[in-house]
């Protein structure tokens, strides 16, 4: 399933920030819209448990 992932600044491991619904075919040049985070979204890293505020620019598209 497609997802937006982020990299934890404390341990440098990637984890899922948001699942992308409707995982149908995607145009090679068009990514799904990034979620509106309204100034940041605090997520806890499942690896080291550090809480970090992420901005939309930090979201990385992944189809894993």
Q: What was the pLDDT predicted at 34?
A: 86
Q: What was the pLDDT predicted at 54?
A: 93
- Calculate the dihedral angle through the C-alpha atoms of 19, 21, 26, 29, rounding to the nearest 10 degrees: -50
Q: What was the pLDDT predicted at 12?
A: 97
For the stretch 6-52, pLDDT in tens is 999 999 999 999 998 865 555 666 778 888 887 778 999 999 999 99
- pTM of the entire structure? 0.78
Locus of tokens 């690896």: 47
What is residue 56's DSSP assignment? G
Task: Check pLDDT > 60 for residue 4.
Answer: yes
CA atoms of 17 and 6, how far apart (whole Å) = 6
């Amino acid at each position: 399933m497609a997802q937006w992932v982020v990299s934890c600044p404390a341990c440098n491991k990637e984890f899922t920030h948001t699942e992308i619904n409707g995982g149908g075919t995607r145009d090679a040049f068009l990514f799904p819209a990034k979620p509106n985070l309204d100034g940041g979204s605090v997520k806890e890293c499942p690896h080291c448990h550090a809480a970090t505020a992420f901005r939309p620019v930090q979201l990385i598209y992944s189809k894993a």
